[in-house]
Structure 1
Amino acid sequence: MEEEIKFIIDSTKEAMHNALLHLEKKYINIRAGKASPAMVNAVMVDYYGSLTPLSQVANVNTPDGMTITIQPWEKNLIPEIEKGIHQANIGFNPMNNGESIIITVPPLTEERRRDLAKQAKHEAEESKIGVRNDRKNANNDIKDLEISEDMKKNLEIDVQKLTDFHINKIDEIFANKEKEIMTV
Structure 2
Amino acid sequence: MNEQADLLLLEAEEKMEKSIHALQHDFSSIRTGRANPALLDVVMIEYYGVDSPIKQIASISVPEGNQLYIKPFDRGTLKKIETAIQASALGLQPQNDGVGIRLVLPQLTTERRKELAKQAEKLAEHGKIAVRNIRRETNEHIKKLDLTEDAEHGYIEDVQTLTDKFIEKVDHVTKIKIDEIMAI
**Superposition TM-score, scaled by structure 2 size:** 0.90
Task: Determine the C-alpha separation between the residues in 2 that align with 1:50 and 1:131.
Answer: 33
Task: Determine the C-alpha separation between the residues in 1 that align with 2:45 and 2:130.
Answer: 34
Deviation larger for 147-156 or 49-58: 49-58
Give the CA deviation at 1:99. Answer: 2.3
User: Is contact 1:43–1:53 with CA below 8 Å preserved after alignment?
Assistant: yes
Pick closer, same or farther for the CA change 1:47–1:145 going to 2, 3 Å.
closer
Query: What stretches of structure 2 of length at least 5 have no aligned partner?
Result: none
**RMSD (Å), alpha carbons:** 1.8
Identity of aligned residues (%): 38
Aligned residues: 184
Give the secondary-structure state (helix, strand or coil) at the position aligned to 2:63. strand
| Number of the residue aligned with 2:32 | 32
Task: Determine the C-alpha separation between the residues in 2 that align with 1:151 and 1:44.
Answer: 49
Pick closer, same or farther for the CA change 1:50–1:125 going to 2, 3 Å.
closer
Pick closer, same or farther for the CA change 1:68–1:139 going to 2, 3 Å.
same
Task: Determine the C-alpha separation between the residues in 1 that align with 2:76 and 2:136.
Answer: 54
User: Is contact 1:46–1:84 with CA below 8 Å preserved after alignment?
Assistant: no
Runs of 4+ in 1 over 6 A off after TM superposition: none
Task: Determine the C-alpha separation between the residues in 2 that align with 1:164 and 1:24.
Answer: 18
Give the secondary-structure state (helix, strand or coil) at the position aligned to 1:93. coil
1:153 is aligned to 2:146: no
Give the secondary-structure state (helix, strand or coil) at the position aligned to 1:70. strand
Pick closer, same or farther for the CA change 1:172–1:89 going to 2, 3 Å.
closer
Task: Determine the C-alpha separation between the residues in 1 that align with 2:87 and 2:142.
Answer: 49
Give the CA deviation at 1:113. Answer: 0.6
| Number of the residue aligned with 1:96 | 96
Query: What stretches of structure 1 of length at least 5 have no aligned partner?
Result: none
Where do residues 6-21 of structure 1 align in structure 2 (5 Å cutoff)?
A: 6-21=6-21
What letter is aligned with 2:131?
Answer: V
